[in-house]
Every structure is written in C-alpha cells, then in structure tokens.
Structure 1
C-alpha cells in the first residue's frame, strides 16, 4: 500500500496549481481593488489591462508565455511544460476572482496580505518546478538563467528584475498615483520576503543512515534538487552532528538541510529509494 506522502511527492503539478490560485487571490482580493500592482510581468499586465480594457488574466497568460518559452530554450530544459499548469491556474483564477470585492478596506492590510499571498503562491510553485511570473520575485534552480550577457558583460538576473520592478513602480506612480504606488512597493517587499522565507527560512537538518548513499543522493538531487551538507558548514560541523550517532554508523551518515515544505517528500523519497534507511531530524543551532 502506498503512503499518502509518497503519492503527493509524485504530483508536483498539484502544488504549482495551488500556488497559482493563491497568488491570484492576493492580486484580485487584495491588490487590484485598491489600484495596487505586483512586480514583474504581472504588474505590466495590470497596467496594460487598464488601458486596453482587455482582461488582466488573459494578458497575464499572453505576456508570460513568450518569455517562458525563451527561458526554456535558453536553459535547454522543459521548463515551459512544468510552468504551464501553474500559469493556467494563475490567469484562470484571476478571471474568476476579478468580480469579487476587496477583503479589507485598509490599503496597508491589503498591501501586506496581497504580498504574502503572492509570495506564498510563487514560492510554492517554484519549489515544485513551476514559475508563475517570468520576471517574478521567486528564484528557482530550473526556472530561469541566473544571469544574462548584455554588451559582453554578465549581469545577474536578480539585478535586472529589481531594475524592471523599480521602473514599473515609477510608471505606476504616474499612472495610478503615488500613494497606490507606495503601497504596491510595500506589497512587492512582502512578496519577496515571503518567497525568500519559503526557500531559506524554514529548514531542518536531517541525518540519513543508509548503505546506499550514492543512490540516495542521486534520488534526492533529481527529485528535490538538494545536496548533502559538506564538512565545515557554517551551521554546524558534520563531526559534531555525528558525534551522538552510533560509531559504526557514522560513515554511512548523510546530512541534509531540508525545508519544512519538503520534509514529507524527502522522507517518502528515502523510503522508496532505501526502505532500510534510518532518519534523524536535528534542530538547527
């Protein structure tokens, strides 16, 4: 009988769809009723929709699609196929939710709430191989190139994203007014910090004792894109981590940093790869 956690780990599309719906809730129920915008292509789509009267959800899909195709070709990975379900859910649920009123009449509450929803949705999708916004606030191992070459100079993509978002917020200030633009900046900051927290801020150290170390390492990297900790880690030296384990098991121990959202998938992959493996969850120091 297969475990529920094992089944869930095989369907990352489910999480990208949930991420798309969560992000659209942040837009349509928090930001857009107060004339706030998000960053990236999502914000560009909103400004274009205000002038063309085309539906935001449709523009969101149309403007994201060519950039995602470009990234897929440049990285030689099937990123587009993994991103499409989340993008469909993002744009489709935005169309469905657009007639609904704002959750709150307080712009600060909506700016923070919308940013948190967008950050949660973008982070959830990115952690499972999706991408909601081709110039979004989230970063994924497989989603986008880390840098672009412009005029013989390598420029980190995060700098380009920040520049684009800055210009977008300035444009929003002229078009929508400076007060909504300032609230939009607050929302972008909340989204960025929420996404960063989902990637780096909620982790556990897990010791895996296995006779098939290489097989386990390959499976975890292929499925979760995580690698074992190396000796001299700034968190804690591996010798200190292993000192409480039985001596004869020390050489069979692999130590990982695992995000809480990936913990059940991590355990399911270990059990499928090596049913005899032992796992110990340690607290971070």
Structure 2
C-alpha cells in the first residue's frame, strides 16, 4: 500500500482562492451590467426629453401613456413613468426573476430621474422629422442596451410575455397592438400628424433595438451539398476560419446518400462563401437560413491543421 501525504491546508487555500476569484468575476460582471443599464436608461431619458416630448411625439407602451398624461396634466413625465411601472416591477419579480426585477426597477428609476432633470430644457431641434429620427434611434439604443443586459424599461413587455402564453398571438404582435391603440389615442388627443410621427419613431426604435440585441454581425446557418464537400469544407476553414460539420443525408427521390456541410456564418461572410462555391463547384446546392438569435460554443477560430 502506498501512502500519499496530502497538504490539506494547501488544498483549502486553493479552494478559497478559487471562490474569491469567482466572487471577483461575478462582482465585475454585475458592475458591468449596471453600467450598461445605466447608460441605456440615460439614453432613453435623453431621447424622450430632448427630442420627443416637447415636440409631442410619443414612444409606445407605459412611457407613451405617461407622455399623454403629462401633456394633459401638470404631473412630470419622470414621476408618471416610475409610478405606472410599479405594478410591473412586482409582476416581473414574481414571474421572471429577482435579477430582472432589480435591473428593470433600477433602469426605470434612472430614466425617470434623467427625464425630471431634463424636463425644463428646450428640445435639441424643432424639426419634427429630425426629432423623430434621432429620438427613435436614441430610444432604440437605450432600450436595446437595457434588454441586452437583463432588464426592461417598459411594463408592456412584461404584460406581453404573460398574455402570450394564453393567446395565439406572438409577443411582438401583442406589443404592436398595444402601441397602435396608444398612437390612436395620441391622434385623438394631439393630432394625427403627431401620431404618424410617433409610429415612425416606434419603427426606428424597434429596428435599432434589434441591432443592439443581436449585433450587426448576426449569424446565419448555411447548408451545402456537393460532391466536392471535402475541398469546400477545407476552404471554408482556411478562408473564413469557421469550423464545419459534415452531415449525412439521403435523397427522398433518388435514394442517394450525400454529405451535407453545415456551417454558421455572419451576414458579411455570405458573399465570401458563395465565392468559394463558385470557384470549386458552381452547381453546389446552397441554402442559407435566416438570422439566428444566439450562437454559442463550437470552434470557430481558424485551425492551423484542418481535420477533414
């Protein structure tokens, strides 16, 4: 029998060191999240007060309702936004999670404070088109940053998630229906020009949110069928630095067995992929899927010695 002397003090010290490192990383991660939520909330407050509100252009959701009430009463927008969203903090805490509720309540508190501080300032521009475009882009950047980092800035997003489970409509359709109702009210309260400008703002903000959350360099899936699959796979790894997967497929009509190349590419790499196919096999079958919301793992870095 062999006896091994074990230094338990050393093991304990190493374990404590790993725990401290883990806590340190988590703290850095939380600080980064709060910074991003703060930045997003500030951007939304700036977009509202310096572009939209004083030009009577609305955002959607609870913020849009708050804008309408603030225009018809002496109550400040920041206070209304915070108070009207309180029930949704509670719903978010119970249905989605504690961290989501914290990020959301903190983000809305920051946004409300910014709108209160900027309330008496003149808008950056009186041109309605410029206010619509820059207001929508600023809102989109702000909301996108907050959503990407685990929070929300409007209670209607939480409502749509809850109602979505009980109706045949998607979350996006529910939010759109709510906002159309709000913009219709805006048309009656103010005028229809403002309602249409508000709709443009909403559309621009929606597209910018999509870009911020998914990134400009969004991923797509590509399937390729060719007799020269090995050469194509090699060039994809060499020129694009992407790992490829070979799948086996059987044709329903011919019964022939084919090798299918599966690879994840960005929208900017799609042209290069087509160029590779044109050089090796112009008759290769290529199917490129739509944007993918998330891609994780896998070896996407270029390999010095590719394995075929």
Q: TM-score, normalised by structure 1?
A: 0.67
| Aligned: 1:159 with 2:173 | yes
CA distance in structure 2 between the partners assigned to 1:97 and 1:61 by the alignment = 16
Change (3 A) 1:73 1:29: same
Paired position in structure 2 for 1:234: 221
8 A Cα contact 2:66 2:80, kept in partner: yes
Change (3 A) 1:279 1:68: farther
Q: CA deviation at 1:84?
A: 2.0
CA distance in structure 2 between the partners assigned to 1:6 and 1:79 by the alignment = 16
Q: CA deviation at 1:157?
A: 2.4
Deviations 1:155-206 (A, max 9, x none): 322222111100100100111111111111111111111111222351266x
Q: CA deviation at 1:69?
A: 1.9
Q: TM-score, normalised by structure 2?
A: 0.62
8 A Cα contact 2:160 2:175, kept in partner: no
Change (3 A) 1:51 1:7: same
Paired position in structure 2 for 1:121: 142
- Out of 128, 138, 156, the residue aligned to residue 107 of structure 1 is 128
CA distance in structure 2 between the partners assigned to 1:242 and 1:144 by the alignment = 46
CA RMSD of aligned residues (A): 3.7
- Out of 84, 92, 108, the residue aligned to residue 113 of structure 2 is 92
CA distance in structure 1 between the partners assigned to 2:69 and 2:51 by the alignment = 19
Q: What SS does structure 1 have at the residue aligned with 2:125? A: coil
Q: What SS does structure 2 have at the residue aligned with 1:234? A: strand
Paired position in structure 2 for 1:12: 33
- Out of 173, 185, 191, the residue aligned to residue 205 of structure 2 is 191
CA distance in structure 1 between the partners assigned to 2:179 and 2:208 by the alignment = 17
Paired position in structure 2 for 1:202: 216
CA distance in structure 2 between the partners assigned to 1:74 and 1:177 by the alignment = 38
- Out of 61, 65, 70, the residue aligned to residue 40 of structure 1 is 61
Q: In the comparison of the two structures, how many residue pairs are matched?
A: 225
Q: CA deviation at 1:128?
A: 0.7
Paired position in structure 2 for 1:79: 100
Structure with bigger RCO (C-alpha 8 Å, 6+ apart): 1
Change (3 A) 1:241 1:168: farther
